[in-house]
Amino acid sequence: MFGLGTPELIVIGVIVLVLFGAKRIPEIGKGLGGAIREFKHAKKDLSGTAATQEKKQEPNPQTSLERKLAEKVVAQVPGVKQAMNAIDKVDKVKELMKS
């Protein structure tokens, strides 16, 4: 598994435990599991409908598909959604400052 042995995995586990704490790890695992489940579900749904879509509707459907999946995955992970909202606000302020 990528050249990682048992000692390396134990060290990584201890670092994660120290960084996030014992109470936060189950929340993160639940969020990641939900994100993966949602990604698989969306991939299955979109693969069935992708064959019927016309390419005239969007100039680049792959990027919008990736954007939608990324938004769903981000919404599942705790704390990331708030960070993304903050980044969006910063980008809006930068655009206002340039105008």
pLDDT tens for each residue of 14-41 = 998 898 888 888 888 888 888 888 888 8
What is the pTM assigned to this prediction?
Answer: 0.40
Domain count, the chain: 1
Burial label, 12 (beta-carbon count in 10 A; 0-12, 13-18, 19+) = exposed
Residue 1 lies in a domain: no
Tell me, what's the pLDDT at 58?
52
Q: Can you spell out the DSSP letters for 51-80?
A: TT--TTS-S-HHHHHHHHHHHHHHHHSTTH
Domain span including residue 66: 6-98
Tell me, what's the pLDDT at 11?
92
Name the stretches of the chain with pLDDT < 50: 1, 54-56
Residue 57 lies in a domain: yes
Tell me, what's the pLDDT at 56?
45
